[in-house]
Amino acid sequence: MRILIDECLPVQLRHIFVGHDARTVVRMSWRSLTNGELLAAAEREQFDLFITADARIPSTHDIGRLHLAVVVVPTNRRKVLDQITHAILAAVAQAKPGEIAIVSLPNPARRPRRPRTR
């Protein structure tokens, strides 16, 4: 699978995609492209998947007409991405052309409330 990683994500993210051809927007010299141009270029170069933290892409682009899948991650912070690697890999494995997969952060465990003292 050919995976294109958005420039807003840490370059180290490509290392989790073992066995895939994962490239960054910067490595492809596509940094100056707008999102629409970027998706078109990814299709031309036959990428199978585009991974980004830009939550606006699903609402501003018609992904259904594309031959690549889009995975949207909840943040660009490497520390957080490292904690949800399994969810990212699962979304990539299930991704289908023309569809968007949104990876969410797990719900944090809630601490019990302390009773109020008067």
Cα-based angle 48, 49, 53 (whole degrees, multiple of 5) = 170
Q: What is the pLDDT of residue 117?
A: 72
Cα–Cα–Cα angle for 92, 97, 100, rounded to 5 degrees: 60
Query: Is residue 41 over pLDDT 70?
Result: yes
Q: Residues 1-14: pLDDT tens digits?
A: 999 999 988 888 88
pTM: 0.85
**Res. 19: pLDDT tops 60:** yes
Residue pLDDT, tens place only, 66-110: 899 999 999 999 999 999 999 999 999 999 999 999 998 877 656
Q: Which residues of 3-20 are buried (b: 16+ CB within 10 A; e: fewer)?
A: bbbbbebbeebbeebeee
